[in-house]
Structure 1
């Protein structure tokens, strides 16, 4: 390699009489006059470098731009893949700084001068170099992707270990690596022993007591869900309008960089849909740090992503193989490469509303300082495809449009949904990210955030997904969710006194009803349905012993009024979105609850035998997927013309 020229730490700005970078790119035929004019406008509007706009818009290749930039600045260009840095100069604890600043120490000359390779030359970079390494430094230019790949290759083993074990090693009581503690086992054993003893000594009295407890619990669950819906209805529309106006008032130049993580596994068919949706976000492209998080062994998806020729805002991160192979482990690994102030998770088939990121930034600005996460709403774009998709849509409409806003208002810990969670990156790193041993990692993280003193907000912005169209696929997905709820409940009830102190009595009870209640309902419902069937067939013979009058009235009230209330809430949920045609399907919700119970018992079996197993949900089965794919490919072709 040619010996680099000595550059001062104010390097990064060419001489006053030198041609502009845009003129050099135009002269070399790397951009068109129209692209140059547009890039100049956007660089002023977004307040970013000209080259960042060109890369973000996909008007030239990354390598061509950075080679031209090096020549423009009179600095050498270094290919880090061909000439990797001296490993002795690299420190794993500095990797986040390398990523944030897009630089890396490269070599040290014999006279002791450090050579730093950067993809972001300028005053901010040279000031950082001066603070970290002093003034005796030379600067060379490299590409952004060279830095990313070099950091990934250099710290692969350490970052892979941290992605799996960071939480369990630093905060073991919040980790699901050990599902049940000895104390919990003793408690469960004592409870079962007490129940068995009661059934031996006084079976009738024991069953009456058990039925009374369950009856009161069902009643409390109905009342709690009703309170959530009532509170969620207070001023939602007014708050949504205020947030929309605040988001529109944000200036592009003031918007922060946002990292978008898209964990995928064996989903090459939905890549064009995903990239099309992300391009439609009403956010400065050069301030998007989009990472396609792919398993290193998933060659099909990796090749499909490379074949798309994506713009420079898209990066492919290959997650090294390790166990458990879960989405949270992949996100933990990718988080170490994030450069944004905020970080959001989207699934491969997601279609967020175009103004979502702007709304989230506005929401963070308007929220208390301890707000660490903003949860957006989820729903489905193929809601009307069949009975299952309609029921799934009713389920999500109730959860995200009514129940979660109610949890926020009552200050009850919010179990986050699996996508469209927008985090402050500094808090996410402070809490060691997601738990790779929990298969509903976001639900767990939402509870953990609250216990650590942070707040989760919910806003009126929707991300649309593909609803499951096949019952078997739905049960696989739902059983994983319920298993994760079981694990989350076990983890966060290990220290009940701490839970009450951190969340308050109301928060702890709300968590018990919402997370524990969801699981318990699905497990107990078939037992009570069976008793109802037997009672009906036997004309009440023998059941009066176990249901004395007062308990019988309570059980009858729960059966009629409680289940009726849930049917009513399911009818109410789609009305907020004016999906009136879905309302009649609420009457078939009992069949949907039956499927949930099947999934719950499968989840219970897996909790015992395969607690960390991530059951893959297959996407792209909807008939709508083909239409979405055609639309995305047409938009891509139009953009390339």
Structure 2
């Protein structure tokens, strides 16, 4: 692709003024041709020239004034008269009006922008240049209240039935009241038959739960072999100039120590850096992380988004706010400690190209890079291997709604905005969004590309994290079971069955495990006479099947889960999964307690506890220093 005349002229100017070396200019021009972008975008993705230097030279080249919008604050009232998305997409903002002349600042000067400005704002305009960061910050400041409100309440106001703002609805309270009343009446007037019926229901639920998981693993084990090869082949053939702009959201809170790891992992992506729109999403009161991000001297494709303080203080609220300032055709969320495989974004683009038109999201796999650190990290890795490598592909193949993982889910931007993005009142916002997408007629795909994270090394920290996830599954189950007829019609019987066992089963099994463990302990201590009245022969056989075959199958599935990645050293640890289930039960009861007393509380997981983190930070920091040099 030939270099446009504007880029050639700007390059010559920078070379003549000694701002770029000949080698740097040649490299930048090659990237501009190969990537199909302007020279300015390439330079913003490199650290050869500061943002201030670049915009100063653009001001000279176009003979337009350069304005510092931090020093000369624009008219917020004037800005609010115009469409924020349009101004954000075009990076062109009206900042002042005087004597009928509108002063318009742009970070993308040139003939095309001039035509756009005159068509949009009229002929009486005065053009000036401002940096991308100044314009973005001006928009954030002008629309602070509006966008903060929308980030919290847009879904609840537009589609309240899909929002977890109301934890439980009056009809759901009535159903629970009736069920509890029936149970208490049964205990009062017919205790033995009532307990038998309850035992039958719970036993059937357990049987269905482990059989459903077995089917998912069986189906999911071979679900992606051919599609994975086709996606990888197309990803390798994609031309950089044809790739879309990709927004990367990285929500963080009080995690300055992992910033070097994060930024280096994003630079290592096999994707034109000039086509990445990277938003580091921080709470405005998190001064430590904000200062740490500033000190890294990041390329111009990185931008800090400061989220205004409001309640609830959750990751989905922060992402909703940052979404208003995103510019990509696709969007992905990565957590602070994530290390995605370099070709992940290209694989996702290829997957979207090969998928049906109603595909709105592609979920990539998650796993851990510190699996060997201790028993907990090994069990966590086995858990994720079973979940992402086998079960989610099974859900996709059976067309059952897929609860998205908390990271590495790639969205079409238009659909994300159409559905009002994430629910800030749901503490597992992505699982909820996966179910909501399916109900709205969209499809979620799963592909064979992995993002590696730091597995929790501390049991108390793990319980805090897992209890939040389970609480979110409880919220998701309550939200999407409010309209059972609508749920049945929108996702079908197989979808409802999968929703009940995959979402409901995830938290119900943790809550019910102690009941069955207690019954088993009573039977072992006091003999069968004390429980035989409540276990008719068919129920006894089914319970024995659950105890022996069910648990054995789940242990077996845990042991075979890592074989797909050839992590055979993890397999023997699968026999200790019972200890992991005990921790799950503790987390489940903590989640239930929080659902009742503090439903929207986002319990922060502390990252950086692994011994691997210090090494990662040191290596990433060294790479940053080398890049600066």
Q: Is TM > 0.5 for Structure 1 vs Structure 2?
A: yes
1:633 aligns with 2:621: yes
Question: Hey, what's the Cα distance between the residues in 2 that align with 1:88 and 1:293?
Answer: 25
Report the Cα offset of residue 293 of structure 1.
0.5
Which residue in the other structure is 2:51 paired with? 62
Q: How does 1:454-533 map to 2 (within 5 A)?
A: 454-533=442-521
Report the Cα offset of residue 19 of structure 1.
7.6
Report the Cα offset of residue 558 of structure 1.
0.8
- The answer to whether the Cα contact below 8 Å between 1:13 and 1:122 also exists between their aligned partners in 2 is no
1:118-157 deviation per Cα after TM superposition (whole angstroms, max 9, x unaligned):
1112354344334433444332211111111110111111
Question: Hey, what's the Cα distance between the residues in 1 that align with 2:244 and 2:115?
Answer: 20
1:416 aligns with 2:404: yes
Distance 1:491 1:92, change over 3 A: farther
1:108 aligns with 2:97: yes
- The answer to whether the Cα contact below 8 Å between 2:47 and 2:628 also exists between their aligned partners in 1 is no
1:600 aligns with 2:574: no
Question: Hey, what's the Cα distance between the residues in 2 that align with 1:436 and 1:565?
Answer: 37
Q: How does 1:8-19 map to 2 (within 5 A)?
A: none
Report the Cα offset of residue 329 of structure 1.
0.6
Question: Hey, what's the Cα distance between the residues in 1 that align with 2:241 and 2:578?
Answer: 52
Name structure 2 gaps, 5 residues minimum. Answer: none
1:171-209 deviation per Cα after TM superposition (whole angstroms, max 9, x unaligned):
111111110001100100110010000111111101110
Which residue in the other structure is 2:138 paired with? 150
Q: How does 1:443-454 map to 2 (within 5 A)?
A: 443-454=431-442
Question: Hey, what's the Cα distance between the residues in 1 that align with 2:562 and 2:171?
Answer: 44
Which residue in the other structure is 1:6 paired with? none
Distance 1:123 1:217, change over 3 A: farther
Name structure 1 gaps, 5 residues minimum. Answer: 1-11
Of residues 299, 314, 318, the one that matches 1:326 is 314
3-state DSSP of counterpart to 2:225: helix
Of residues 83, 100, 108, the one that matches 1:94 is 83
Distance 1:636 1:113, change over 3 A: same
Report the Cα offset of residue 92 of structure 1.
6.8
Question: Hey, what's the Cα distance between the residues in 1 that align with 2:48 and 2:467?
Answer: 45
1:238-283 deviation per Cα after TM superposition (whole angstroms, max 9, x unaligned):
2212111111111000101111010000101100000110000000
3-state DSSP of counterpart to 1:576: helix
Which residue in the other structure is 1:335 paired with? 323
Question: Hey, what's the Cα distance between the residues in 1 that align with 2:77 and 2:152?
Answer: 25
1:32 aligns with 2:21: yes
Of residues 599, 603, 622, the one that matches 1:611 is 599
- The answer to whether the Cα contact below 8 Å between 1:13 and 1:73 also exists between their aligned partners in 2 is no
Question: Hey, what's the Cα distance between the residues in 2 that align with 1:135 and 1:361?
Answer: 40
3-state DSSP of counterpart to 2:529: coil
Report the Cα offset of residue 581 of structure 1.
0.5
- The answer to whether the Cα contact below 8 Å between 1:383 and 1:393 also exists between their aligned partners in 2 is yes
3-state DSSP of counterpart to 1:85: coil
Q: How does 1:169-568 map to 2 (within 5 A)?
A: 169-568=157-556
TM-score normalised to the size of structure 1? 0.96
Report the Cα offset of residue 89 of structure 1.
2.6
Question: Hey, what's the Cα distance between the residues in 1 that align with 2:112 and 2:218?
Answer: 50
Which residue in the other structure is 1:128 paired with? 116
Report the Cα offset of residue 600 of structure 1.
0.2
- The answer to whether the Cα contact below 8 Å between 1:92 and 1:155 also exists between their aligned partners in 2 is no
Report the Cα offset of residue 13 of structure 1.
7.0
- The answer to whether the Cα contact below 8 Å between 1:79 and 1:142 also exists between their aligned partners in 2 is yes
- The answer to whether the Cα contact below 8 Å between 2:223 and 2:393 also exists between their aligned partners in 1 is no
1:139 aligns with 2:127: yes
- The answer to whether the Cα contact below 8 Å between 2:401 and 2:435 also exists between their aligned partners in 1 is yes
The range that moved more, 305-314 or 21-30, is 21-30
Question: Hey, what's the Cα distance between the residues in 1 that align with 2:593 and 2:453?
Answer: 28
Report the Cα offset of residue 541 of structure 1.
2.2
1:519-545 deviation per Cα after TM superposition (whole angstroms, max 9, x unaligned):
110000111011101101112122110
Report the Cα offset of residue 83 of structure 1.
2.3
Question: Hey, what's the Cα distance between the residues in 1 that align with 2:393 and 2:487?
Answer: 21
3-state DSSP of counterpart to 1:541: helix
Which residue in the other structure is 1:72 paired with? 61
- The answer to whether the Cα contact below 8 Å between 1:92 and 1:158 also exists between their aligned partners in 2 is no
Question: Hey, what's the Cα distance between the residues in 2 that align with 1:575 and 1:546?
Answer: 41
- The answer to whether the Cα contact below 8 Å between 1:99 and 1:148 also exists between their aligned partners in 2 is yes
Which residue in the other structure is 1:586 paired with? 574
- The answer to whether the Cα contact below 8 Å between 2:376 and 2:457 also exists between their aligned partners in 1 is yes
Of residues 78, 85, 92, the one that matches 2:74 is 85
The range that moved more, 124-133 or 441-450, is 124-133
- The answer to whether the Cα contact below 8 Å between 2:93 and 2:105 also exists between their aligned partners in 1 is yes
1:292-317 deviation per Cα after TM superposition (whole angstroms, max 9, x unaligned):
10111111111111111111111111
Question: Hey, what's the Cα distance between the residues in 2 that align with 1:135 and 1:377?
Answer: 52
Which residue in the other structure is 1:624 paired with? 612
Report the Cα offset of residue 419 of structure 1.
0.3
Question: Hey, what's the Cα distance between the residues in 2 that align with 1:247 and 1:19?
Answer: 31
3-state DSSP of counterpart to 1:20: helix
3-state DSSP of counterpart to 2:93: strand
Question: Hey, what's the Cα distance between the residues in 1 that align with 2:111 and 2:17?
Answer: 26
1:22 aligns with 2:16: no
Q: How does 1:157-172 map to 2 (within 5 A)?
A: 157-172=145-160
3-state DSSP of counterpart to 1:48: coil
Distance 1:298 1:559, change over 3 A: same
- The answer to whether the Cα contact below 8 Å between 2:403 and 2:435 also exists between their aligned partners in 1 is yes
Question: Hey, what's the Cα distance between the residues in 1 that align with 2:422 and 2:358?
Answer: 19
- The answer to whether the Cα contact below 8 Å between 1:326 and 1:614 also exists between their aligned partners in 2 is yes
3-state DSSP of counterpart to 1:514: helix
- The answer to whether the Cα contact below 8 Å between 1:344 and 1:422 also exists between their aligned partners in 2 is yes
Aligned residues: 626
1:41 aligns with 2:30: yes
1:429-454 deviation per Cα after TM superposition (whole angstroms, max 9, x unaligned):
11111111111010011111111111
3-state DSSP of counterpart to 1:311: coil
The range that moved more, 385-394 or 219-228, is 219-228
1:359-409 deviation per Cα after TM superposition (whole angstroms, max 9, x unaligned):
111111111111111100000000010000000000000000001111111
Question: Hey, what's the Cα distance between the residues in 2 that align with 1:122 and 1:422?
Answer: 32
